[in-house]
Structure 1
Amino acid sequence: MKSRILLLFAFLVLISCKREQKISSSDWTLISNHLQYKEQNGTFQLKSGNFTYDFKTDQIPFKKIVLLNASMAGYISELGAENLIAGVSSPEYIYSDTIQNLLKQGKILNVGSEQKYEVEKIISLKPDAVFTNYIASFDNTYQLLKNNGIKVIFLDEYMEQKPLEKTAYIKLFGKLLGKDKEAEKKYDEVERNYNELKQLALQAQTKPIVLANIMYGDIWYLPGGKTSTAHYISDANAEYILKNNTEEKAVTMNFEEVYAKTGGVQYWVNAGNHVSKKEMLSMNSLYSKLDVFNKGKIYVITGREIQKANDFFESGVVRSDLILKDYIKIFHPELLPDYQLTYMKELR
């Protein structure tokens, strides 16, 4: 009997060792459930969502790229790699002064919009890669680009709900653009700041209740309890009205359903792009029934906005620490007495 037990123990140890060896030999850098990459045997392999890419190490770093999503410009700007951008779509949504100046100088070209990309112009630029979110209706466009030797890389950064995981995409851009050290340094800085701010928020003596987002028509699109907004509110030591919800997407409710949950709400954040409470009320008179509208504080994310361009969706994809800092300043102003809001502002 004893020999059988020892044999079983030895077998389990062997299996455990094999498993451990298998895991450690993979060498994947895990950014999130949507993104991972590794370098091995002269190749760089990337898994992004449902897509897998293999590059020979002599194919990277890329020297010329095209961006088909304005949010990705935030990563490039934080790395100081704007000179690698050959083309962008929908430039009116890009906030960066540097990129806008390069557009004016003709060093970066406008290659269309999400309604219609100018495929011939993109091909003529001969970029090493095009970065975009995957949109099924553009499959033919993507295939045309691939047929002309252009790598089309699909990223899901917009789906990331954990703030630091969205920030961590900068590591991938660092790898692909030859900015490894800059990317690691920036991520470490943001991560350190974020965790220090999170600890600072715990010093607050109060934990206010928070409402988020606005109505569109008859429907209120509330952030689910596992969305980035919910994470920020929680990390800022406040209580979101849907804190127990498990959705990573918007939760739809009518006004009466939301009204029933707003007792004691002191702050209303991400209240669209309204310019005043009066204008907000002109869009939907039901808001006047909410105590938070009449007695609380309302904040919008237009602190850094120029026409259609909003930096919350650009540099904010990297600077999750500054977004958290804004929320802490809103909910616990006594903790950051000298800080001025970056992306948000109070609606009056």
Structure 2
Amino acid sequence: MKQRILLLFTVIALISCKREQKISSTDGSSISNRTQYKENNGVLELKSGNFTYQFKSNQTPFKKIILLNASMAGYISELGAENLIIGVSSPEYIYSEKIQSLIKEGKIQNVGSDQKYDIEKIISLKPDAIFTNYIASFDNAYQLLKNNGIQVIFLDEYMEQKPLEKTAYIKLFGELLGKQKQAADKYQEIEKNYNSLKQLASKAKQRPAVLANEMYGDVWYLPGGKTSVANYISDANAAYILKDNTEEKALTMSFEEVYAKSSGVQYWVNAGNHTSKKEMLGMNPFYGKLDVFNKGHIYVITGKEKQKANDFFESGVVRADLILKDYIKIFHPELLPDYQLTYMKELQ
């Protein structure tokens, strides 16, 4: 689980691979600078990172898909398209009750883990498409799938740092799965909610100081000032300790460096998946030296967690509005007196 939490806030270096011709975002739908798609003479053209794809009208919408990343299940669930999934990897990390039910019924197959995919089973399932993040070490597996006529689509949603741009991938899934209207309606709903919540947060009289993430070994991976965590904190009208930083990746710092920056911090968010402050202190006695540990409020992202599955990494990928709402509730509880946290929980 800690590896999954670290993955959320540490941007993986861009993988070098052959660059393809870019699709101009002015000609079609732009998700972000990384991802755009458009229709051109009956062909759907998609640019995703360093990869481009062309889908003829008889290829989409996809009817049978495989997901190799649990986070993508959030988009499918929001569209109510779980019945299109025929395979997933590492099902123990999927939170969705409906998808888990379909797995138990045998309608969705386990096709391996993030360590090794069951290539023979994937090929036998004959999916229309596989959705995954690109991992260079799996190039041979990807090539085997492509050689068997399987469309492998690499998406970069995990690299997006603007919350609503990460949400916007639902529009791409809607386009590829024939659920364009549902996707557009859902995105507009989340966007409207998010902007309304941001406006509400701007009315707060106080702007508390905030610390984020935790240490792994001797290193504190502190989110850069332009990461999704920093953007959420800013939109919730709080002052992140690295708010003036311009990095879109995590910065590595020693405890001493973080300690020097944490004076006056009132809230510590995204502090892993600990069960109590006592347990947290047992893992790292240095935490006890922080004023925020002793006098402030510490929040972890375990509000919707079942064994290895954490919905923060699933529906939370899409529901930027609910994550922002959690942060506003934390920093400015008076603005949302009747709201109960969705993804986060305060440590006692």
Q: Into which bin does the TM-score normalised by the smaller protein fall?
A: over 0.9
CA deviations 1:150-192 (Å, max 9, x no partner) are 0000000000000000000000000000100000000000000
CA displacement at 1:312 relative to structure 2: 0.3
Structure 2 Cα separation of the partners of residues 336 and 57 of structure 1: 47
Structure 2 Cα separation of the partners of residues 113 and 292 of structure 1: 38
Structure 1 Cα separation of the partners of residues 254 and 212 of structure 2: 14
Letter in structure 1 aligned against 2:303: G
State the match for 2:16 in structure 1.
none
Structure 1 Cα separation of the partners of residues 130 and 312 of structure 2: 23
State the match for 1:48 in structure 2.
48
Structure 2 Cα separation of the partners of residues 55 and 136 of structure 1: 24
Structure ranking higher in helix proportion: 1
State the match for 1:286 in structure 2.
286
CA deviations 1:315-342 (Å, max 9, x no partner) are 0011000000000000000000000000
State the match for 2:111 in structure 1.
111
1:267 maps onto 2:278 in alignment: no
Q: Which runs of 4+ in 1 moved over 6 A?
A: none
Q: CA RMSD in A?
A: 1.1
Structure 2 Cα separation of the partners of residues 52 and 306 of structure 1: 37
Structure 1 Cα separation of the partners of residues 197 and 25 of structure 2: 35
State the match for 2:136 in structure 1.
136
Q: Secondary structure at the match of 1:55?
A: strand
State the match for 1:58 in structure 2.
58
The residue correspondences of 1:249-328 to structure 2 (distance < 5 A) are: 249-328=249-328
Q: Secondary structure at the match of 2:54?
A: strand
State the match for 2:13 in structure 1.
none
Q: Is the 8 A contact 2:316 2:323 kept in 1?
A: yes
State the match for 1:9 in structure 2.
none
CA deviations 1:270-301 (Å, max 9, x no partner) are 00000000000000000000000000000000
Q: TM-score, normalised by structure 1?
A: 0.93
Higher Rg: 1
Structure 1 Cα separation of the partners of residues 194 and 42 of structure 2: 35
CA displacement at 1:33 relative to structure 2: 1.0
Q: TM-score, normalised by structure 2?
A: 0.93
Structure 2 Cα separation of the partners of residues 33 and 312 of structure 1: 24
Letter in structure 1 aligned against 2:266: Q
The residue correspondences of 1:1-348 to structure 2 (distance < 5 A) are: 27-348=27-348
CA displacement at 1:27 relative to structure 2: 2.0
Percent of aligned pairs sharing the same letter: 81
1:234 to 1:24, Cα distance in 2 relative to 1, 3 A: closer
Q: Secondary structure at the match of 1:45?
A: strand
Q: Secondary structure at the match of 1:294?
A: helix
Q: Is the 8 A contact 2:43 2:55 kept in 1?
A: yes
Letter in structure 1 aligned against 2:36: Q
1:207 to 1:26, Cα distance in 2 relative to 1, 3 A: closer
Q: Is the 8 A contact 2:304 2:312 kept in 1?
A: yes
Structure 1 unmatched runs, 5+: 1-22
Q: Secondary structure at the match of 1:130?
A: strand
Structure 1 Cα separation of the partners of residues 142 and 216 of structure 2: 33
Structure 2 Cα separation of the partners of residues 345 and 234 of structure 1: 20
Letter in structure 2 aligned against 1:136: A
CA displacement at 1:260 relative to structure 2: 0.4
Letter in structure 2 aligned against 1:104: K
Q: Is the 8 A contact 2:65 2:86 kept in 1?
A: yes
Structure 1 Cα separation of the partners of residues 68 and 251 of structure 2: 28
Report how many residues are paired.
326
Q: Secondary structure at the match of 1:92?
A: helix
